[in-house]
Amino acid sequence: MIEDLAAARLQMALSLGWHIVIASFGVGMPAVTLFAEWRGYRTGDPVYTRLAHRWAKSMGVLFAVGAVSGTILSFEMGLLWPGLMDRYGDVIGLPFALEGFAFFIEAIFLGIYLYAWDRLPPRAHLLSGIPLCVAGVASAFFVVSANAWMNQPRGFDLVSGEVTDVNPWVAMFNPATPPQTVHMIVAAFMVTGFGIAGVYAVAYLRGRRDRYHRLGFAVPFTIAALLAPVQVVVGDWAARFLAEYQPTKLAALEGLARTERGAPLSLGGVYLDGELRYAVAIPNALSLLAHGSPNAEVIGLDQVPDDAEPPVTVVKWAFQVMVAIGFGLLGLAGWWALAWWRRRGPPRSAWFWRAAAVAGIGAAVAVEAGWVVTEVGRQPWIVYGHLRTAEAVNPAPGLATGLLIVASVYLVLTVATVTVLRRMARRAAEEPVAPQEETP
C-alpha cells in the first residue's frame, strides 16, 4: 500500500510538473502573439507580423502536446484518486466541466487563427485571436480554482461522513481561489515571456542582432519584465493568505518549530528533529510580513500532530528557490528598465544577455517549485482537513507499472516536442533577412 501510494504521488507529480510548463505557454503565448500581430497591423511593420507567424506555429505545437498531457491528467484524477472523486466529485466537478468548455473554445479558435491568415481580412483575423487569449486564461483559472478548493474546501456539509448540501459555486470561489489563480496566471505569462525572449537572447549572443531578433526579444521580455514586480506583490498576498487560512503550511515554509511572537524570517536551513538548523534568521521579519506587525504571533509546527506535519525541508527549500528566482527575475527586469531609461536601448553587457538566455528556464523552475509548495505543503491532506492522501489513493495493486508507462510517454513527448521546435527554429534562422530587418 505504501509503495502504491508513493507511485501514485510520483506519477501525479510527473504529470502535473510536465503539464504545467506547457500549459503556461498555452496561457501566455496567445496574448504575446496577438500583441505582435496587432503591432504589425497598426504600424505596417512586417517584422511584427513575421514574429506573430513564427510564434503562432510554435503555439500550435505546444497546444497539441498540452492537450495530450492534460488528457492524461484528467484520467489520472479518477484512476489514481478514486477516494477523492467518489466522495467529492459533485463538489469540484463544476470547474473541471467549465475547463472543458474553455479547452474546446481554445481549440476551435486556435484552428481558425492558424489556418485563416490568408483567408480572413487582417482585422478579422486579429479579432479571432481574442477568444483564444480569453479561453487560455479561463482554462487556467478553472483548473487552479479546483486545486484551491483542495486547500480551502467549501460548498458542502458532512453528515455522518456523507457529503450533502453541495454548492459548486461556493466551492469554486473558495477563499484560496483569488490569490492562487492570480499567482499562477501571472507566473504563466512570465514563463512565456522570459521563455520566448530566451531564444532570441541566445541568438543575440551568437551575433544575430537584426531587427527581427531585437524585436523578438524585446516584445516578450518587456511583457514578462512588467509582470515581475506584480508577481512579488501577488506572492506577498498569497503568503498573508497562508498566515490566516493555512498556518501549518506557512510554518513549514519557514521551518518555524514553535509558535512565537516576533517570529524571525529564516533563510536556508535544514529541519531536523523538530528544529531548524543552519539557517540565517532575520528577527521579527516573519511576523511583520505575515501579519503586518513585528510582534504578531505566528503559529508554529508545535500546534499540529506529528502525523499531520508536511515534509518541512522539502517545502521550505522549494519556497526558497521560488522566491530567489522571483527576485532574480525582478532584478533582471530592473536592469532592462534602467538601460532603456538611461539611453533608450537594451543593456550592452554580455552578462545581461546570458542571464536573459536562462531566465525562461528559471521562471519554469520557479513555477515547479511553487507547485511543490502548494501540493507538498498541504500533505498529508488531499482535501485540507477532511481527507488524507492515503485514504484517497486507488487500493488496487500495481500502480508502479502505471508510473513507468506514463514516464515513458512523457519521455517520448519531450523528445518529440524539442525536436519539432528545434527544426522550426532552424528553418526560421535559415530564411534570408529582409532589408527592413537588417541592423542599421
pLDDT tens digits, one per residue of 344-389: 878 888 899 999 999 999 999 999 999 899 889 888 888 888 888 8
Q: Is the pTM of this model over 0.75?
A: yes
pLDDT higher than 50, residue 104 = yes
Confidence of residue 180 (pLDDT cuts 50, 70, 90): very high
pLDDT higher than 50, residue 143 = yes
Confidence of residue 440 (pLDDT cuts 50, 70, 90): very low
pLDDT higher than 60, residue 429 = no
Instruction: Give the whole-angstrom CA distance, residue 82 versus residue 91.
Output: 14
pLDDT higher than 60, residue 153 = yes
Quote the pLDDT of residue 262.
Answer: 82
Quote the pLDDT of residue 84.
Answer: 84
Confidence of residue 331 (pLDDT cuts 50, 70, 90): very high
What sign for the dihedral angle of Cα 286, 290, 294, 297?
negative
Q: What is the pLDDT of residues 252-311, one digit of tens each?
A: 888 888 888 888 888 888 887 777 788 788 888 888 888 888 888 888 888 888 888 888
pLDDT higher than 50, residue 137 = yes
Q: What is the pLDDT of residues 399-424, one digit of tens each?
A: 788 888 888 888 988 888 888 888 87
Q: What is the pLDDT of residues 113-135, one digit of tens each?
A: 888 888 888 888 889 889 999 99
- Higher per-residue pLDDT: 432 or 37: 37
Please list, in sequence order, all residues whose beta carbon lies within 8 angstroms of the beta carbon of residue 152, skipping any fewer than 6 positions away: 174, 175, 176, 245, 246, 384
Taking CA 303 as the corner, what is the angle to CA 171 and CA 278, rounded to the nearest 5 degrees? Answer: 110
Confidence of residue 332 (pLDDT cuts 50, 70, 90): very high
Quote the pLDDT of residue 186.
Answer: 94
Instruction: Give the whole-angstrom CA distance, residue 73 versus residue 62.
Output: 16
Confidence of residue 435 (pLDDT cuts 50, 70, 90): very low
Confidence of residue 436 (pLDDT cuts 50, 70, 90): very low
Helix (H) / strand (E) containing 233? helix 211-245
C-alpha cell at 273: 528533529
Quote the pLDDT of residue 438.
Answer: 47
Instruction: Give the whole-angstrom CA distance, residue 347 versus residue 341.
Output: 11
Section 338-343 average pLDDT: 84
Instruction: Give the whole-angstrom CA distance, residue 72 versus residue 53.
Output: 30
Quote the pLDDT of residue 148.
Answer: 92
pLDDT higher than 70, residue 38 = yes
Q: Compute the mean pLDDT over every residue in the chain, rounded to the nearest whole number.
A: 86
C-alpha cell at 186: 501571472
- Higher per-residue pLDDT: 204 or 428: 204
Quote the pLDDT of residue 431.
Answer: 58
Phi, psi torsion values for 366, nearest 5 degrees: -65, -40
Section 39-61 average pLDDT: 88
**Nearest CA to 366 among 317, 318, 398, 402?**
318
Tell me, what DSSP letter sits at residue 248?
H
Confidence of residue 1 (pLDDT cuts 50, 70, 90): low
pLDDT higher than 80, residue 427 = no
Instruction: Give the whole-angstrom CA distance, residue 59 versus residue 293.
Output: 46
C-alpha distances out from residue 189 to 26, 166, 208, 354, Å: 9, 34, 25, 21
Helix (H) / strand (E) containing 13? helix 2-43
Q: What is the pLDDT of residues 195-237, one digit of tens each?
A: 999 999 988 888 888 888 888 898 999 999 999 999 999 988 9
